[in-house]
Structure 1
């Protein structure tokens, strides 16, 4: 009886140990971010790199060095910048540099799902509506939401929609639809603004106008009515309107964070 009990306990310990050892995130997997309920420890040989408040990813590297195919630079990149021996840091654009083999110059862009540029705000349950005259919007062969955003950025577009398994990229958008199957992204100037999808700055209004999201930010920067100024916006399409409305705001405390919004709104504030 004692032998059976000991064997049972030993088996439980081994099982728990194996379970603990397997609860790691593989390289390129998500390891953090708001609403992330999965594991946060990266597998051996990789490290959890922070992209934004919603997403962190396991990338090759560790001990102050970035492994092969890991990110080693770019605007707002706060991680390590030295590649592991035998690799070199290749600059792809202002927002992304990557460790590649040092013995040859790569001829292709980085994998489409490696990293989303940080100057794209992401919004859940929203798909932007295509405007008349906007061409080259289909993006066939795209297999993920992140890849859809990267494709839009590569084409010089301003908006990306991921509706189920379908990607569309748009140059202009002044309205949107709400749908559980949708996720979208909009490009903005990350050097001048901080922006959050599905958020709202309550009160502090100084004016409003019906316009597109990109024009909303530009109008705020040049706003001056009755001696009032604008340093923040809330862009949203209300249920009784077929166009988005830009609510201009002035917020004295620029460190103030917006509140969660459930109707697809976007909140932005100018960097101090």
Structure 2
């Protein structure tokens, strides 16, 4: 029977490798946590619970402490399966075959639009800073979902390249790459922003910094009796360390124009 073969595969896999977390008394996901002759640890790491497969083998599976629902990637159905078919949150129980169903992210729950406080630049790859960890995100199906993951994690930049998602906390530079699309957070109560754009001319100053600091600085920048009311943020050729923030003084009805260097253009809502 296929389900029996699947169970034996799990048992063999666990026997070949001893799954153990850095916490010495906890067993990692998919590790053995029980059984008639088992003498090891029985408590699973956070977000998992010890599921009895048969009298000889129990395994740490997704589901947390609430075993009335199954965590993401956990089994939720199939011939011979006796557990719950209810997945956590918005995940759905996907039937793969007669013997196995699994909780996976629901496409209905996948973000379908980028929030209006994120500026999107196509052909732009925001560069990861040294020390920025936990940036690569798996199981994301779309660019919009990547931005949603950045929001969820409290990050300010999202990069989508070759159907892979990266979320970043701090960005100083970017590179041009047609395989990339990137997004950056901005405060929509203060600014309107447009990707791949510029407010040509009307420069009153510039500085080398990162995108979020460019916006913060504009609010307080004055030169020649003119207050900054717009910015263009662009990666200048040959500068591998900082993007350049161009402070602008533009007419209130000024509209951004296309910029092939990947720049983002933002204008203060309450300009003077």
Residue 249 (1) aligns with residue 239 (2): no
Equivalent of 1:117, from 115, 118, 124? Answer: 115
- 2:209 counterpart of 1:200: no
Count of matched residue positions in the alignment of Structure 1 and Structure 2: 166
What are the residue-to-residue correspondences of 1:1-272 with 2, within 5 Å?
Answer: 107-108=89-90, 111-242=109-240, 243-251=242-250, 253-272=251-270
Aligned counterpart, 1:21? none
Please list every run of 5 or more consecutive structure 2 residues that lacks an aligned counterpart in the other structure.
1-87, 92-107
Classify the secondary structure of the residue corresponding to 2:136: coil
Alpha-carbon distance between aligned partners in 1 of 2:89 and 2:160, rounded to the nearest angstrom: 28
- Residue 227 of structure 1 deviates from its aligned partner by 3.0
Determine helix, strand or coil for the equivalent of 1:206.
strand
| Cα distance between partner residues in 2 of 1:116 and 1:223 | 30
RMSD: 1.6
For residue 239 of structure 1, report the CA deviation from its aligned partner.
Answer: 1.4
Tell me the TM-score normalised to structure 2 length.
0.58
Q: Secondary structure at the match of 1:222?
A: coil
Q: CA deviation at 1:116?
A: 2.3
Q: Is the 8 A contact 2:204 2:224 kept in 1?
A: no
Task: Decide which structure has the larger Cα Rg and report it.
Answer: 2
State how far apart, in whole Å, the 1-side matches of 2:253 and 2:90 are: 40
Q: Distance in 2 between matches of 1:241 and 1:233?
A: 19
